[in-house]
Amino acid sequence: MKYNTYIKGGIPVSEIGLGAWQLGSSSDWKSMSEKEAIKMVLQSMDYGINFFDTAPNYGFGTSEIRLGKAFKGRDRDKFVINTKFGHTVEGRTNFRSDSIRDSLEGSLKRLDVDYVDSLIIHNPPFDVLDGNKNDHYEVLEKLMDQGKIKAYGASLDNSMEMDLFMRTTNCSVIEAFFNILHQDTANAFEMAQHKEVAIIAKIPLDSGWLSGKYDEKSSFDDIRQRWSREDIGTRAKLVKEIKQIIGKDRDLAQTAIAFCLSYPAISTVIPGNATMDQLRSNVESTQKPISTELVVKLQDFYKREIMDMNLPW
């Protein structure tokens, strides 16, 4: 496992992190038992993973609770926790600045830790991102001063959001929506490197599409019910073309993760893992880098076929 810089002065993070959405019970994905969730966290540690991404609303708090149980008895300074603010443990949204501290205290209690390495605002409305017009960042700076968090940032979906956020705040972390089918956030990667803002690549497998398991006949009974039949048909066509570009000798999911890892701005990639086999495969992707030529082909495909499509997440 390779480790990259995350927070200045902090421990380096594994280039593959554990996205902990699926760890929660009653989540938007197929539920996982507490025993299964803890076993997955422990196995990920055995693979060298030390970065864990969670949020209060993941499994209505159970993702954080299960991570806390898995971390019990381990040296706190050996792993990195990123949690969020804005989507509540009850499943609602609340981006008010006067709720940040209470949200964090709830997360610390569920995780059973004294601090988190980073606290990020969870896909907030665009106007919340402007540090010149909001007092959220004064609150976050105070939490840093008090040792409750080491850094703050936001989970964002496009380069325009990233640009505003980095220009008007002292953020250190951005969790960016980035994969072969959604490359817009890469337009802000150069600024992130210049400002020393770490990038967490979220949804690297496009909610499963870049695993290669789905086609135009697929249907979904979880959070992915949001896709219309037209959306499914469009994605199926694009994935078929991507498979042709990468060739038969490469695994699609591992190539999708390797594509993200080819960007030096990205500190860690957080694919979701529903099974131990998926976890193992995701970790193995670190041993299967892709050529610069293939990266360019996938970038060109995005620009030619997808960029102007407004493909829904």
Give residue-wise pLDDT tens across range 58-103: 999 999 999 999 999 999 999 999 999 999 999 999 999 999 999 9
**Mean local confidence (pLDDT), 41-64:** 96
Mean predicted lDDT score pLDDT of the chain: 94
Q: Are 175 and 200 in contact (CB under 8 A)?
A: yes
User: Shortest CA distance to 154 belongs to which of 143, 138, 170, 142?
Assistant: 170
Band (141; pLDDT cuts 50, 70, 90): very high
Name the phi and psi angles at 20, rounded to 5: -100, 15
Report the alpha-carbon distance of residue 257 to residue 283 in Å, rounded. 9
Report the alpha-carbon distance of residue 49 to residue 20 in Å, rounded. 12
User: Shortest CA distance to 155 belongs to which of 140, 142, 167, 165?
Assistant: 165
Supply 157's token pair: 């979906």
pLDDT the model gives residue 218: 83
- 83 three-state secondary structure: strand
pLDDT the model gives residue 312: 80
As to burial, measured by CB atoms within 10 angstroms (0-12 exposed, 13-18 middle, 19+ buried), residue 300 is: exposed
User: Shortest CA distance to 22 belongs to which of 3, 1, 41?
Assistant: 41
pLDDT the model gives residue 30: 65
Q: Are 144 and 170 in contact (CB under 8 A)?
A: no
* Residue-wise pLDDT tens digits, 223-277: 778 888 888 899 999 999 999 999 999 999 999 999 999 999 999 999 988 899 9
Q: Give domain 3-208+252-291's CATH number out of 3.20.20.100, 3.30.70.20, 1.10.287.990, 3.30.390.10.
A: 3.20.20.100
Higher pLDDT, 116 or 222: 116
Q: Where are the domains of the chain?
A: 3-208+252-291
Band (28; pLDDT cuts 50, 70, 90): low
* Residue 300 DSSP label: H
Give me the percent of the chain exceeding a pLDDT of 70: 98
Supply 301's token pair: 């495909």
Question: For residue 289, which amino acid is it?
Answer: P
pLDDT at 26 over 60: yes
